[in-house]
Structure 1
Amino acid sequence: MPPHPLTSPDIFQHVRMIMGMVVGLSVTRLLTGLVRIIQHPSQTRIYPVHIGWVLTLLLMLMHFWWWELWLIELPVWRFETYLFLILYAIILFFLSAFLFPDSISDYTGYEDFFISRRKWFFSFFALTVVFDLIDTLIKGPAHYALFSIEYWFRVPVYLVLCGIAIMSTNRRFHMAFVSMGLLYEVSWIIRHFETLS
């Protein structure tokens, strides 16, 4: 046992710093990929659905960093909680890496790449939905009481849509999914997470 027991806020700051490192790597990966597209627009054919998911994931990462501040109120920290949060951040990094791999030379462009790797991407995206649910429960009843029945509806809907996205190559479905998903996430954040007070 340490000579000076750490308080919950002390542990939270330590965990938040480590999560921040992983989230920072994810944001860097996405921004570097976008800059590469801007710098070399004729090098690889872009795909609006791919760009839509890049923007969605950037928003998710910023949102993740914002909403995890509620963990400062967690009364007791366990290693399992710490491990869960690090795994959550790692899953978000994997999503970033799936969107911008080191090379897509084996593909004709981002459309071919995205559709070919969609099973990996949407499997991990579905994992973030499950992890978000567990994360919400960890924060306690006072936290998830902030949400309406809408939250408990959105979780299964997202999982079903991810399942369809894994199975389907229909370009219209993928465009509709990312468009509506991005708009919904913006709406959700504005309605529920604009302030932490």
Structure 2
Amino acid sequence: MTAGPRDRLIESAIELVREQGVHAAGLAALLERSNASRNSLYQHFPSGKSQLVEVATKTAGERLAVVMDKVTAKGTPAQWASALTDWWQRALTRSSFSTGCPIVGAALAESEPGVQAAAGAAFTDWTDRIANALCDNGLSVEQARSLAGFVISALEGAIIQSRALKSTRPLDDAQIHLTALLRSAVPDA
């Protein structure tokens, strides 16, 4: 079954934000990439591009949350760091470092408060998911929340650097240090 115009528009918005950020993902490019008409855009997203990118950000955040849930459902917290960095290394190398995290692109959209809020909600959700998994491994809520936020920050920073440098080295470094940090924070896991 082929995707309808709404789904094609969302996928195109995710891809363009991953490649170019929110502001560079223009309406013409969104319509061309999605093979959708302007009519379809306004039928499904009456507020236009801002609403589309907000929905796309929420969708991308939910998809990446599924990845985090799968990673944290097995193994030790130290192994989670390896799994998450490996996932991003594959994603970046598959695209020849031309695409990054769509949530970062959305987070930088200062003139689009709904889009930026959706990015903030995704980061909060990811942090909560990892924090809950760390609590299940014996950390206090406060420790788990702080450590989970740091894990997300380290990963996202490494993704940005890897893309800019066209190298997985920043993710390799993040993996080494996050693994050590998580082993020391949760030694019995």
Mark yes or no: TM-score above 0.5: no
Normalised by the size of structure 1, how large is the TM-score? 0.30
Structure with more relative contact order (C-alpha pairs < 8 Å, separation 6 or more): 1
